[in-house]
Chains A and B, each alone.
Chain A
Amino acid sequence: MDVKNKISGIQLFLILIHSQIGVGIITLVNEVHVKARSDSWISVIISGIAIQIVIIIFWSLVRRFPGKNLFEIIEIVLGKFIGKIIVFFYCLFFISTGAILFAKYTIILKSWMLPLTPKSILIGALSIITVYLAIDNLQVISRFFILASSVLLVFLGFVIFSLKDANYTYIMPIGVHGVKNILKGAVVTSLSFQGFEYALFFAPFVKMKKNTIIKTMTWTNVFVTLFYTFVVLATQLFFSSNELELVPEPIFYLVKSFSFKVIERPDLIFISLWLVLVVTSSVVLFFMTSFATTALFNVKNRTPFVYITVSFSFFLSLLLYGEELIDRFTEIFQMFFLAFSISIPIIVFCLSLIFRKKGDQSS
């Protein structure tokens, strides 16, 4: 990997935000609501706080091994052989994450916008854009993300506009559904935060002082948590609890119900904007996937692996069809997420403490 193309703190911030906010945000509200009902927004905040604790542990890990990414750290701590096996599983994890992303994107797009267009075309279009960007280095990607960030503002604008019909009684009384359900909701929400762990891999590419990385990661987390909380809260204020159960993609529904003077269906514009967010998270994801595969095979050239991993996810996602199947797959996948994005880095950190392993301070 070309280390000379380092990114700045703000660029890392944008990359992390865009990798986290993607397909999930559309279905997030409904998924949390099934568990936590009118207290969903509390679940989101709790989830954000939990992720912050994980981020602090991650930072301690990165600080012990300066200039190293997670894969290198794993190999140092666990040895070459076990390290390689874990990296291999990481590759599989990323590829299946990509497949789920593709499948969710297709199913939403097919039910909202393009019911007759074949699946393969929709996934193919996304794959081509993803490959086009993911073969470039982080700096190019983050420059595109600066442009793409304007979408987040428009996104927020739409959501703020919906507050004109807000009804505060829909979220009252607060905390009535019990701690257990709120925590269950928080676990579901945590899946939408997937992407924060990429900081473990990008840390060596950031040209900033070691201690400021934690600041960037924290700001990212604060931003994403607030963004999610706001979106969930606004949606909850717009739809009554019983209606929210019926609407799997409440944010689209919310935008669809506005009808402006000139634009009859603002949801189509909104979906097009959302596609940009899907592209950005898919780009980071496949950057990571190809990065993991290069670590696995000890090669320098990342480009062919981008093609290979994207096509793997492409074919895998073609097999995933039907909302039921995707939901079931996602539920199983949630465990893998907890394992790969949270548990393994933490375990590695604990082991590095036990075995007193440290990175080379001079590098």
Chain B
Amino acid sequence: MKQLIITICSLILLTGCWDKRLLKDHSLILAIGYDLNDDDTISKTVSFPIESINQSAEEQIPTESDAITTTGNSVGDADIELERYLSQNFDRSKARVLLIGENLAQEGVFPALDSMYRDPRGPLGASVAVISERARDGLNLKKKQSFLTSEFYFDLLISSEESGIIKRLDVQEVCPLLLSGTKDIGLPHLRYNEEDASAHITGIALFKEDQMTDTLPLQNSIMLLILMDDIHKKLKINLQINDEGEREGKIKDFVTFTIRNSKRKFKVYKENDEIKAKIDMDLKIEIEEYPHDHLYKAKELSDLAKAIHKQLLDLAEDTIERIQKANSDTLGIGDKVKAHYYDTWTEIDWREVYPNVPIDVNFEVDIVQHGIIN
């Protein structure tokens, strides 16, 4: 009798559920894009999978993406608007990519992200990227190599990260950096190609706090990641080491190499009341392509190392000049100043000081391998 009562009670108690969210009632949004319009309203574009019409009943796999754009005064307003267009409730918790239009990025990204941080189901794992011009176009791709737009962007970001061009940041990783005031983010920068409706990575978008100030081209992006000691194993660098025309044929002027091993010494110090930074990079590289060959000669090898060293140094100096001009402290020098020279930190306005901080870069290049031929 007692057991019967317990059984009935638990039947009543266990089945009741308020907080259920059934998949059949929701459209899964896999990619989100935010844009700032000219009249200061926010446009939100969502990309979600739809089932294509011409497929057999057994295989109900979503194979197409559709995108809807709504406009509102804020992201929340655009969300409310979205409910009017979607036949099902939207569920953004599975979003994998968050694209931010360049206009919005220049104005400041944090307000757009607020609702994501506030929602317990917010997609904190989504990768963030900046796209020019508009995220709306980016999510209406024609050429996407993959069935779903979101997959295309996600895979593109992952493969670019693996080849060392960009560093992928997700929604959560962005937040502490945006708020810290001592270090800035560098987000992947994409470009939408209007002619064939495709998109590709162009480099890193530099941020000053939550506002985008500049973009770095490909070579500089790679150098920035090297300086941040974020070197990926598959990273390949191509440098022109000779433009004097001494050797015959332009193709022979170039060298491609990978970094096998790296060591970074990053020091921020004070000298005569002036903050200075010093980066020492010790690189062990492997030559992947060097049409000029003749690497069996010791002299040739050391000359090549010297030439690479010089090119790297030039590139590094150019990169640092760019990030300082953009007032983007992606290297986290402010972090170190605050940690080690707190008195100085409270006195100065870091944003004023940073662009003029002397940053000294040194490279130590060692060729350790050159493939299976000399």
List the interface of chain A (C-beta within 8 A of B): 111-118, 121, 165, 167-170, 172-173, 176, 238-243, 246, 256-257, 259, 264-265, 267
B residues near A165, Cβ cutoff 8 Å = 173
Chain A residue at smallest Cβ distance from B124: A257
User: Are B18 and A116 interface neighbours, CB within 8 A?
Assistant: yes
Known: A172-B338, A173-B339, A257-B125. A117 touches B179 (CB 8 A): no
User: Are A239 and B19 interface neighbours, CB within 8 A?
Assistant: no
Q: How many residues of B contact A (CB 8 A)?
A: 26
Known: A114-B18, A173-B339. A239 touches B176 (CB 8 A): yes
B residues near A168, Cβ cutoff 8 Å = 339
A165 and B117 CA atoms in complex are apart in Å by 18
B residues near A170, Cβ cutoff 8 Å = 176, 180
B269 CB, nearest partner CB in chain A, Å: 15
Known: A239-B176, A240-B179. A172 touches B340 (CB 8 A): yes
**B67-106: which have CB < 8 Å to A?**
93-94
Query: Taking the complex as formed, is B335 at the interface, i.e. its CB lies under 8 A from any CB of chain A?
Result: yes
Query: Taking the complex as formed, is B172 at the interface, i.e. its CB lies under 8 A from any CB of chain A?
Result: yes
Pull 23 A–B residue pairs with CB atoms less than 8 Å apart, ordered by A: A114-B18, A115-B120, A116-B18, A117-B18, A165-B173, A167-B176, A169-B182, A169-B332, A169-B336, A169-B338, A170-B180, A172-B342, A173-B339, A173-B340, A240-B177, A240-B182, A241-B180, A242-B181, A243-B176, A257-B172, A259-B124, A264-B94, A267-B120
Chain A residue at smallest Cβ distance from B16: A121
For B175, give its contact among A118, A121, A169, A243 (CB under 8 Å). Answer: A243
B373 CB, nearest partner CB in chain A, Å: 40
B residues near A240, Cβ cutoff 8 Å = 176-177, 179-180, 182
Known: A115-B19, A172-B338, A173-B342. A246 touches B181 (CB 8 A): no
List the interface of chain B (C-beta within 8 A of A): 18-19, 93-94, 117, 120-121, 124-125, 170, 172-173, 175-177, 179-182, 332, 335-336, 338-340, 342
Chain A residue at smallest Cβ distance from B334: A169
A112 and B119 CA atoms in complex are apart in Å by 9
A239 and B120 CA atoms in complex are apart in Å by 17
For A112, give its contact among B117, B120, B173, B182 (CB under 8 Å). Answer: B120
Known: A112-B120, A259-B125. A117 touches B182 (CB 8 A): no
A120 and B117 CA atoms in complex are apart in Å by 28
A265 and B332 CA atoms in complex are apart in Å by 30
A residues near B121, Cβ cutoff 8 Å = 265
Chain A residue at smallest Cβ distance from B172: A257
A282 CB, nearest partner CB in chain B, Å: 19
A residues near B342, Cβ cutoff 8 Å = 172-173, 176
Known: A172-B340, A242-B179, A243-B176. A118 touches B117 (CB 8 A): no
User: Are A111 and B19 interface neighbours, CB within 8 A?
Assistant: no
B residues near A121, Cβ cutoff 8 Å = 18
User: Are B339 and A246 interface neighbours, CB within 8 A?
Assistant: no
A168 CB, nearest partner CB in chain B, Å: 8
A residues near B170, Cβ cutoff 8 Å = 257
B91 CB, nearest partner CB in chain A, Å: 12
A residues near B175, Cβ cutoff 8 Å = 243
B58 CB, nearest partner CB in chain A, Å: 26
Given A169-B336, A257-B125, A264-B94, 15 more A-B residue pairs with CB atoms under 8 Å apart are A114-B18, A114-B19, A118-B18, A121-B18, A169-B182, A169-B338, A169-B339, A238-B176, A240-B176, A240-B179, A240-B180, A243-B175, A246-B117, A264-B93, A267-B120
B residues near A267, Cβ cutoff 8 Å = 120
A167 and B173 CA atoms in complex are apart in Å by 12
A238 and B117 CA atoms in complex are apart in Å by 16
User: Are A116 and B179 interface neighbours, CB within 8 A?
Assistant: no
B24 CB, nearest partner CB in chain A, Å: 18
Known: A239-B176, A240-B180, A256-B120. A113 touches B19 (CB 8 A): yes
A37 CB, nearest partner CB in chain B, Å: 12
B residues near A257, Cβ cutoff 8 Å = 124-125, 170, 172-173
A265 and B123 CA atoms in complex are apart in Å by 10
A57 CB, nearest partner CB in chain B, Å: 38
A239 and B177 CA atoms in complex are apart in Å by 9
B residues near A265, Cβ cutoff 8 Å = 93, 121
A239 and B179 CA atoms in complex are apart in Å by 10
A256 and B175 CA atoms in complex are apart in Å by 14
A residues near B181, Cβ cutoff 8 Å = 242
In the A-B complex, the 3 residue pairs with the closest CB atoms: A172-B339, A257-B172, A240-B180
A224 CB, nearest partner CB in chain B, Å: 28
A residues near B124, Cβ cutoff 8 Å = 256-257, 259
B residues near A172, Cβ cutoff 8 Å = 338-340, 342
A170 and B176 CA atoms in complex are apart in Å by 10
A166 and B62 CA atoms in complex are apart in Å by 39
Chain B residue at smallest Cβ distance from A249: B120
B residues near A111, Cβ cutoff 8 Å = 120
Chain B residue at smallest Cβ distance from A245: B179
Chain A residue at smallest Cβ distance from B345: A173
Chain A residue at smallest Cβ distance from B17: A117
B residues near A113, Cβ cutoff 8 Å = 19, 120
A residues near B339, Cβ cutoff 8 Å = 168-169, 172-173
A227 and B249 CA atoms in complex are apart in Å by 67
A238 and B172 CA atoms in complex are apart in Å by 11
B residues near A167, Cβ cutoff 8 Å = 176, 335
B residues near A239, Cβ cutoff 8 Å = 176
User: Are B335 and A169 interface neighbours, CB within 8 A?
Assistant: yes
User: Are A116 and B19 interface neighbours, CB within 8 A?
Assistant: yes
A174 CB, nearest partner CB in chain B, Å: 9
A265 and B124 CA atoms in complex are apart in Å by 10
A242 and B210 CA atoms in complex are apart in Å by 14
A281 and B49 CA atoms in complex are apart in Å by 46
A170 and B180 CA atoms in complex are apart in Å by 9
